Structure 1
Amino acid sequence: MLLASLCLLLTTAPLLAQTSTGGEGRSASQAKQNATYKAKINNSKDSKIIITMTQSNVQIVGHNSDEVVIDGGKYTPAPARAAGLKPLYNTAEDNTEIGLSVTKEGNTMRITQASRHSNKYTIKVPKNASVMYQETSWGGSNVAVTDLDGEIELKLNSAGATLTNVSGPVVATSTSGDFIVKYDKVNQSKPTSISTVSGIIDLTLPASTKADFKLKTITGEVYTDFDMNLPNANRDNLARVGGNNKIDGKTNGGGVEMSLYTISNNIYIRKAK
């Protein structure tokens, strides 16, 4: 009897291990490690890349190439039982095997999350292309954008964004996220507009930046070390202005329009050191 029980345990253990990890045949061993997907698009300002995500962690990096390269991190595919079936919560079809749908029409490429499961993606894009990123849920992680010379548009709900080594223009909105933007230069061709309800806005610009600023915060303050002909009160070497009214200021004689708006937090405008 003991020998028979031992044999039964040995034959059923692998099956129990498989079903206990995924419930539907989805096991840790199915996760794809560092899977990548590549697609071609011109490295020019006429190219547009539209990225739509639900709750994934995304880093967007510009590079001197005509390829979009997506690192899928650790992506777990659908369970074997779902073979031949399509998910209903997300109508996008995963044609990349990393949980994304990628389609291209003319100079526009669309990258859409095709799975409800969160993942970490690094998306390398041609640095001169324009990028639009939109968050469709309230559970998304913050977005990181680096080394882009094209236009950037961010439509976020609860997430914030950190932009580094960009030139803009930048159009960004969020409800509760912070926007931290570090420019290597400021594109003078189109205006920038950044707004958030409860997040901070923190811009770092070259000291020579020519801009017309339109600034407003309802309950916060605006701090800057640029000369905008504003009150001379200071705090931590930043001139302090604020209150309920909109403030217009110019740097280096004026230039491209930059509108910054937050309701319940502060705005910081810094010279790059």
Structure 2
Amino acid sequence: MKNARLITVLAALFVMCSVIAQEKSIDLFSVPLSNPSSRGKLVIDQISGSIHVEAYEGNEVVIKASFESEKRHYKEKNKHNGMKRIEGSSMAISAEEKNNVVQVINEQWNKVTNLEVKVPKNFSLKLSTVNDGNISVKGVNGEMEISNVNGEITLESVSGSASTDTVNGDITVYFNSITKDANMAFSSLNGDVDITFPSSLKADVKAKSDMGEIFTDFDMQIAANKPEVNKNNSSGTYKVKIEQWVRGKINGGGPEMLFKTFNGDILIKSK
């Protein structure tokens, strides 16, 4: 099928199992694109482990993995009448390509799987992980949607646009260039948000840190916080509040750039 290719690692292959038993890091597979001359997209959504994506000069998606020790759901003292436990070496990772969208499916629920992926430079990304890992991207030019729960997010020398969020971890992004008129958001609960933009950035900034500070070396025009009035005639209530958000304009304003953390600092830098 020209527009859809499925590449699967089969756990039943004895040779593959033997290699896995001896090595903690292996090359999985390369996924060709339906249209290599057009922009593609990588989608990874996994439970445990890190994801590292790096741009290269090729036109396929190349995937490598390393595995940490299996999670033990039993007490070591249970030996089943002296029988020896055989370490599991089965794999459940596959990749599907359709219309230049490559989705990596990781069903290794009992292993921490760290994925290393190479993609063509002009590529969009949708990456997420939950536990035991960080997400990092290097050199990619595209639209990036990155989500983590217990780990950091680092985007190095990227171009395009990004939306990033994590619960426990820092967010660090360095843009070589950005997509014009693209809204972006960077949010952490417990961690610093450190974003570097080109000095030509035009943006409407909305930033908030409950337990930290906000810093910038841009010449930002700060808007005054005006009380927000909510009057309900039917109930007769009149409510006034002032938001904690800092709002401002950089280079006259532009698309909205949202920066948010509860316990950490926000740094909006110019390169």
What is the TM-score with the length of structure 1 in the denominator?
0.71
Q: Which residue of 104, 107, 127 corresponds with 2:97?
A: 104
SS of residue in 2 equivalent to 1:117? coil
- Which residue pairs with 1:252 in the alignment? 251
Tell me if the contact between 2:181 and 2:254 (Cα under 8 Å) persists in the aligned partners: no
Structure 1 residue 73: Cα displacement: 4.0
Moved over 3 A (4+): 25-30, 42-46, 73-77, 79-83
Structure having the higher helix fraction is 1
Count of aligned positions: 221
1:192 is displaced (CA, Å) by: 0.6
1:36 and 1:185, CA in 2 relative to 1: closer, same or farther beyond 3 A? same
Checking the alignment, whether the CA contact within 8 Å between 1:128 and 1:149 is kept in structure 2 is yes
The aligned residue for residue 126 of structure 1 is: 120
Deviation at 1:267, TM superposition (A): 0.3
- Equivalent position to 2:132, from 126, 133, 140: 140
- The structural deviation recorded for 1:36 is 3.9
Contact kept? 1:44, 1:128, Cα under 8 Å: no
Amino acid at match of 2:246: I
Answering whether residue 61 of structure 2 is matched by residue 68 of structure 1, we say yes
| AA aligned opposite 1:255 | G
Equivalence for 2:44? 51
Q: Where does residue 90 of structure 1 map in the other structure?
A: none
Q: Which residue of 2 aligns with 1:210?
A: 202
Partner of 2:231: none
Contact 1:219 1:244 (C-alpha < 8 Å) held by counterparts? no
Q: 1:130/1:224 Cα in 2 relative to 1: closer, same or farther (>3 Å)?
A: same
Contact 2:188–2:261 (CA<8 Å) still a contact in 1? yes
Letter in 1 for 2:118: K
For 1:109, give the aligned amino acid: V
Q: Distance in 1 between matches of 2:245 and 2:188?
A: 15
How many angstroms apart in 1 are the aligned matches of 2:69 and 2:29?
Answer: 15
Query: Aligned partners of 1:75, 1:261: CA distance in 2, in Å?
Result: 33
Q: Which has the larger share of strand?
A: 2
Contact between 1:60 and 1:124, CA under 8 Å: does it hold in 2? yes
Looking at structure 2, the residues matched to 141 and 203 of structure 1 have their Cα atoms a distance apart, in angstroms, of 21
- Structure 1 unaligned runs (5+)? 1-24, 88-93, 232-242
Q: Normalising by structure 2, what TM-score? A: 0.71
1:12-31 maps to which residues of 2 (within 5 A)? Answer: 29-31=21-23
Offset at 1:163? 0.4
Shift in Å, 1:29: 4.9
Match of 2:30 in 1: 38
Deviation at 1:153, TM superposition (A): 0.5
> Does structure 1 retain, via aligned residues, the 8 Å contact 2:204–2:257?
yes
1:43–1:64: 8 Å Cα contact kept in structure 2? no
AA at the equivalent of 2:185: S
Calculate percent identity across the aligned residue pairs.
27
**AA in 1 matched with 2:162:** V
